[in-house]
Amino acid sequence: MDNNSKQAEFKPYIPADKVMPEFTATAIILGAILAVVFGAANAYLGLRVGMTVSASIPAAVISMGIIRVIMRKESILENNMVQTIGSAGESLAAGAIFTLPAIFMWADEGIGANPSYMVIAMVAVCGGLLGIVFMIPLRKALIVKEHGTLPYPEGTACAEVLIAGEEGGTKAGTVFAGLGIAALYKFIADGLKLFPSEVDYEVPALPGAGIGMDVLPALAGVGYICGAKISSYMMAGGVMAWFVMMPAIKLLGGDAIIFPSDTPISEMGVWDIWSNYVRYIGAGAVATGGIISLIKSLPLIVKTFSESIKSLGGGNGDITLDRTSQDLPLSVVAVLLVIALAVLVGVPSIPLNLLSGIIVLIFGFFFATVSSRMVGLVGSSNNPVSGMAIATLLIATILLKSSGLNGPEGMVAAIMIGTVICIIAAMAGDMSQDLKTGYLVGATPKKQQYGEIVGVISSGLAIAGVLYLLNSAWGYGSKELPAPQATLMKLVIEGVMGSNLPWGLVFTGVFIAVVIEILQIPVLPVAIGLYLPIHLSTPLMAGGLLKLYIEKKKFKNEQTRENVITSGILYSSGLIAGEGLVGIILAVFAVIGLDPDISGKINLGNIGGLVFFAGILATMLLYTVWNKKVNK
């Protein structure tokens, strides 16, 4: 069955001919508040540990609690609008914190000055608007026409949460059971720190090799939703990095000191080898995988643009689209595009010129396309936005240097370009998940796109203040706020400006991606597994294998099989939601100085982490194949 047939057969939860409250004052206010809160909390988390948590499902759960329980209103589309607006804060924060702290660090070193509040706010808002603008023409191509091909795990999970909350009963109980269990687990692991949330082992028999697992419920849930095939591609990339490349570097390197490290390879641990060598290889592979993905998508993208232009003209009798097919008019999209580019290039305090604007336009659309398709495969949580930013910074810095813009001015301009591209990629990925949720529940795309604009403006104005607050409190690059991605971006730019970047490693990744494509294996999932630590791929693989077991298991009939698999998706959605909510709460605790850590008194160690994670997998079986209510 082709995609067109799947599209024709699909019916959203709320039919297109039914009109419900959606873009309301309640949704706008609540969504904007959540966008600010999630943006601030994720800024802290990302600067502390280098990762952010997806806000879509937590925003949806909070919205249901306020709108349905407290306000006694029933509107799934209104709840969906709240999560659409609220999740924009998380994605915008991710783009900002992965790059902008580099400027603050340079200022501390006496290179340039800190950017003003208004500069940060304008760059953040304009980057977010460009992410929205570039994603809108892609909606029909990626969300509608490839429905059934691209799973969009967080978007699907969020739709399941909203629908379960609307229907109540067993489905809602399954979601909220997962939510409660994951929330308790997350608090024990990362709040009380009863056991480490990352289990890590080196392999003595194979020097340079290592294995580990982030023993967190959300990763198992994402693995279940993605399935075994996609999870296995990521795992293959992780195995290639941690059991092939890293041992080879350790074996062949000896006592040599090889750039970019200043330590003999014989003295380096697995994490040193990964961060100094393999991560650059992974960045090259991810960038190449993105280029290959874009080339493959070009025919569909061109067709989608053509259809959008035709619909703008309103000719051939296609004047009225049904509610669930309406996007923002291309005239509005064009105005937003012009305004954002004009501000970035025309405001004197923003160090971007015409060349920078062209780079932003080209790379922005490119990585918006790549990000939107990639999160459809592996989810927003595994979207290597920082890898895209590295690829952009490499090329942008080279172009700026060749044009004569070097030194501190060129370095700051490169970071600003990277910031805008990073925000565009993060926003496009998050927005595609939101639009997938809306497609499943029957939302109006045009109203969701207006909601994204509200979220971008509110969180963009807030993130500037948050960055200044955190810098004043601890300073970037400190033990409290190591800002790992921004530190890497800083090193990349300094490396290019100083002509000392490890290009050999980058091009190794490029040609690994080419080999993978020649073998007709999906490049991006493998490249992502290569770029990210294997500790993220292993729990995804565990969730994927659990789903594979369920899919292969014999049931009474096909309906029972579907019930069990759906129950697993609902429970996995709850796991993602529970961990996300407590991750936000723990971030707030950290900011206000409340530390519930009891690891000094009780610590179960790595074994405890593995046992608890096995318990999470057991609960997933409990709510699927062992659940008599669905297995009948």
536 vs 388 pLDDT, higher one? 536
Token output for 203: 């392999």
120 versus 378: the higher-pLDDT residue is 120
How many of the other CB atoms lie within 10 Å of CB of 523?
26
- DSSP letters of 219-284? HHHHHHHH-HHHHHHHHHHHHIIIIIIHHHHHHHHTT---TT--S-GGG--HHHHIIIIIHHHHHH
Whether the predicted pLDDT of 586 surpasses 70: yes
Instruction: Report the alpha-carbon distance of residue 513 to residue 507 in Å, rounded.
Output: 10
Per-residue pLDDT for 169 more than 60? no
Whole-angstrom distance, CA of residue 629 vs CA of residue 135: 41
Residues 26-39 as b or e (16 or more Cβ within 10 Å = b): bbbebbbbbbbbbb
Closest CA to 580 of 154, 247, 238: 154
Structure tokens at 365: 């659309």
Give the HSE-up count for residue 359: Cα atoms under 13 Å, Cβ half-sphere.
29
Kindly state the helix (H) or strand (E) to which residue 202 belongs, with its residue range: strand 198-202
Q: Over pLDDT 70: what percentage of the chain?
A: 90
Q: What integer pLDDT is reported at residue 98 of this predicted model? A: 85
Please count the other Cβ atoms lying within 10 Å of the Cβ belonging to residue 341. Answer: 21
State how far the Cα of 518 lies from the Cα of 535, in Å rounded to an integer.
27
Out of 181-185, 259-263, 315-319, 532-536, the most confident range is 181-185
* 208-246 pLDDT tens trace: 999 999 898 988 988 898 889 989 999 999 999 999 999
**Residue 517, pLDDT score:** 94
φ, ψ of residue 170 to 5 degrees: the values are: -60, -40
Angle formed by the axes of helices 25-49 and 445-473, nearest 10°? 40
Q: Which residues contact 524 (CB under 8 A, 6 or more apart)?
A: 286, 289, 290, 293, 370, 373, 374, 377, 378
Output the pTM of the full model: 0.74
Task: List residues bridging with 202 in a β-sheet.
Answer: 210
Q: Tell me what pLDDT residue 49 has.
A: 59
